[in-house]
Structure 1
């Protein structure tokens, strides 16, 4: 039996000196910081929008027709013989053009109609709140009567697994 313990002990002397053990956690303090959290809030509402439509009461068709008739009559007065038909046609065309142009330039009688319809409007506002965030933990632990401190990303609980690296002091 003694022979089996000897080689195991001899192998241990050949290792790098690192072993793992457990230490007792004495104190854990969270590292807290305040952060501002901005959250978008979309607010929507319905509102009525008005539209105006101008409808003209008269049209240029009557003025064009009147100009064509008047021009045809005047053209007929100036023509004679076979040129009479050509003068009548030319007078009618010229009278129609003048009547149409005059109707376009004349002030019109408009009727304005107003319509409204619902329109959905939305706006994004932002609300800010302050929150506490844990950035890590300051951990105090005891190993073989000595106290040590470290910073960890999590709360280790009552026991902390540690690596003990023993080397000769030179």
Structure 2
């Protein structure tokens, strides 16, 4: 308890030099840091900023070596070839066998590209002055802005 009482006695003596060094107006006045209000700015342009994503997937690709097989040693020609191919496909059992046996299938990589907007570069005007900011969303025609005015006090280190 004795140490508490002695600290209580010395505390005003420790603070006295700092209080004496401050100007008289600063000892009793609280300085407001800034004046703030909200206004609406006119949006001139909002341009999306895209992120490009690439994805590779494996897809089965099949190439048919021959859709039309020669019939009994003779080759099909012209219209006969087309009619024969249609008949082979439409004949139950025959078309599937020909297609399965003649296909050369393999897995091939296919790369796809996707673009998605991740932000917007927005040009806007506040009191006749043009500004640009990157925002997470498209603000539309108007943008709410915070207008702050802070006085510069001589000797305050803000110069």
TM-score (norm 1): 0.39
Higher normalized strand content (fraction of residues): 1
TM-score (norm 2): 0.42
